[in-house]
Structure formats: C-alpha cells, structure tokens
Amino acid sequence: MKTFRTPLLLCCVLALLPCMSQDVAALAMPNVDLETQEGRKMEDERAAIRKFFVLFYLSAIIPVMENQGRIRKEEDIYPLMLKVFPEKELKACPEKLQKLMNDKIQGVKDMLAGKKQMKPEPFDPEEPEIVAFLAVYGMEDLDQQIMNWMGRQIGSESDGKLESVIQAFRHLKDGVESGKIVMPEKVEE
C-alpha cells in the first residue's frame, strides 16, 4: 500500500509545481497589466465605461431634480434624458456597450412614439446583459461604486437644499465631461 501512496503523492506535487511560481487570478478578472498594450487598452476602456455611466446616471438625475413637481410619468422625463444623453462618451466605449445602450435608447424612442409599452425603468443596471458586459471588465459593482462616489461628491458640495444639490450635480457633470473630475477605479463604501 505504501508503494501506491508515494507515486500518487508525487503526481499531486508534480501537478501543482507549474502553478507555484505564477501569479494566480480569477478567470473572470481582466488583464490589467499596464505594462502591456492589452492591459493599457483594457484600462482605457474601463475609464471610458466609468465616465460614460457616471454621465448616463447624471443625465437621469439632473432632469428629474430640475423638473421636480412637473414630472408626472415616464413620458415626461424620457425626452429630457434623451436630450442630455452622453453620446460622445458612449462612442469612446467598447462596441458591445455601444450596441447595448443604443438598443436601450431606441427602445425609449419607440416607447415615446407609442410603438412599445412604457416601462418605468428602461435601463436596469442589474440586467443580465449589462452585468455580463461589466463582468468582462471586472466592474460588476459599478452601479454601487458610482452611487457611493456621487454621494460623496454631492455631499461635500451641497448644503442639502434642493437648489444646492442640483447645482452640485451640475458641477459634477461639468467636471466629469471636461475631465477635471474623474471617478476613481475603486470607491470604498
């Protein structure tokens, strides 16, 4: 029995040797080695995705706050959101995200034209296709990261009154668009 155990143990050890000197990462984690062209490209794409989603969220938040009391239903807010949709920033994102978001925008336009039934939330950050796309970039929690970051940004700039909060959101939007304000890669809770 002892002779059988030794080769078995040896096989297990030999099988593990190639892994011992290598960095190990989760399979879903992107290559973000900034020393490689692929890593730099991935980081640029991640930055573009973050910037787009921050501006996308602001394109919903600001019109709602500015028109508080006048918005009664989805049909009232969607045209305002489409007017300020961050198309330029979307064009800087990977093609797959461009297609996903352009499909969503077309869906909103179809709803406004009466071709589709109105939905209260045409974009859900928890939709499987959005989550799957973000997972490729290791950004599954981007929605929460953005909310945490914006909350800190707005909290430090406003006094809590509606006009002050709206002004802080506008300032944030202007800063993000110009590149003067950049959301960090990770935001602590």
First to last CA, the chain: 55
Q: What is the pLDDT of residues 66-108, one digit of tens each?
A: 988 787 777 788 888 899 999 999 999 999 999 999 999 998 8
Q: How many CB atoms lie within 10 A of CB 127?
A: 13
Joined tokens for residue 106: 């077309």
Burial 54-66 (b: 16+ CB within 10 A, else e): bbbbbbbbbbeee
pLDDT band at 39 (very low <50, low <70, confident <90, very high): confident
Q: What is the pLDDT of residues 119-136, one digit of tens each?
A: 767 777 788 999 999 999
Give the predicted TM-score (pTM) of the model.
0.77
The C-alpha atoms of residue 126 and residue 98 are separated, in whole angstroms, by: 17
The C-alpha atoms of residue 58 and residue 45 are separated, in whole angstroms, by: 20
Q: What is the pLDDT of residues 130-159, one digit of tens each?
A: 999 999 999 999 999 999 999 999 887 778
